[in-house]
Chain A
């Protein structure tokens, strides 16, 4: 029996923390290009987001992959003195949903709510 629908991969914070940045971005783009919706429990660092945008642009093709839709909450600052002093450790990485631009559409986004529509290909 074949089942029609959309595949969703939820990747845990633990698994993400073991992966180097480029491996993470490669995994996201490979799965999203296949039509999979990827949910990251702990999101990406700003540096990783910057590389993700750059690599996404390099993979866009006419009548093929047209890019990604990505949704997450606004960043939240950590309050501890030590974390504020350490560069790059001053904010929580938050849950992030990434999918193909032609399948994932945002309906509503707020500080604490993301509502999205996912369609099959």
Chain B
């Protein structure tokens, strides 16, 4: 009886004083640079990498998680988070698209099947297990793409804090301003994950938004 009481008491104390680590999902359409960012965060703030990067869409087909990453802002304020790199969200997947990249038919079919499972899983994560979102948009692409409009709407309806990363600013056609005008209600940080330009601004915004 005493043991039971002491267990309950210690659980109450734990719930009162132990803040759960937030799970931050990196979401966005395929090929926006999600895994490049996840790898950069894991590399710069912990000691590993999460996934393989490729120009073929749907390289990431399972949500990959890196735990207990502490990011410190310029003023010394820090957040400890789990980063979840998710498969690119889309409403359509055709295996023939992978054949165009030189993948054999059987592998392309498997890749398409894994990609569909991965997208369904990513949507499920968003509904159940995510506390905040870094939404990645390729700054050379149309920010009004339906998948962006739907995903931002879904994230807003779940009242999740969100930072929009306008990626690929190293490319000549990049226009982070287009993304700002499409989603003026959210912080937009222009970055190049590949080169590392302005990623420190993203870390600052993450500390501010996800604290």
Determine whether A95 belongs to the interface, using a CB cutoff of 8 Å to chain B. no
Interface of A, secondary structure class, is mixed
**Residues of the B chain whose Cβ atoms lie less than 8 Å from the Cβ of A49:** 150, 153-154
The answer to whether B112 has its CB under 8 Å from any CB of chain A is: yes
Contact of B153 with A60 in the complex, beta carbons under 8 Å = no
Is there contact, CB below 8 Å, between B146 and A109? Answer: yes
User: Looking at the complex, which one of B119, B156, B157 makes contact with A57 (CB distance below 8 Å)?
Assistant: B119
B157 x A53 contact (CB < 8 A): no
Complex Cα distance A77/B149, Å? 14
The B interface is mostly helix, strand or loop, or mixed, namely helix
Separation in Å of the B153 CB from the closest CB of chain A?
4
* Highest count of chain A CB atoms <10 Å: which of B91, B94, B109, B124: B91
- Cβ of A47: which chain B residues have Cβ within 8 Å of it? 154, 157
CA distance A14 to B124 in the complex (A): 29
**Complex contact A70–B157 (CB within 8 A):** no
A interface vs B, CB < 8 Å? 45-47, 49-54, 56-58, 60, 62, 66-72, 74-75, 87-88, 91, 101-102, 106, 109-111
Q: Which residues of B contact A (CB under 8 A)?
A: 89-95, 109, 112-113, 116-117, 119-120, 123-124, 126-127, 142, 144, 146, 149-150, 153-154, 156-159, 182
Cβ contacts A to B, 16 pairs, < 8 Å: A46-B150, A46-B156, A53-B120, A53-B150, A54-B119, A57-B117, A66-B92, A67-B91, A70-B150, A71-B146, A75-B149, A75-B153, A75-B156, A101-B91, A101-B94, A111-B144
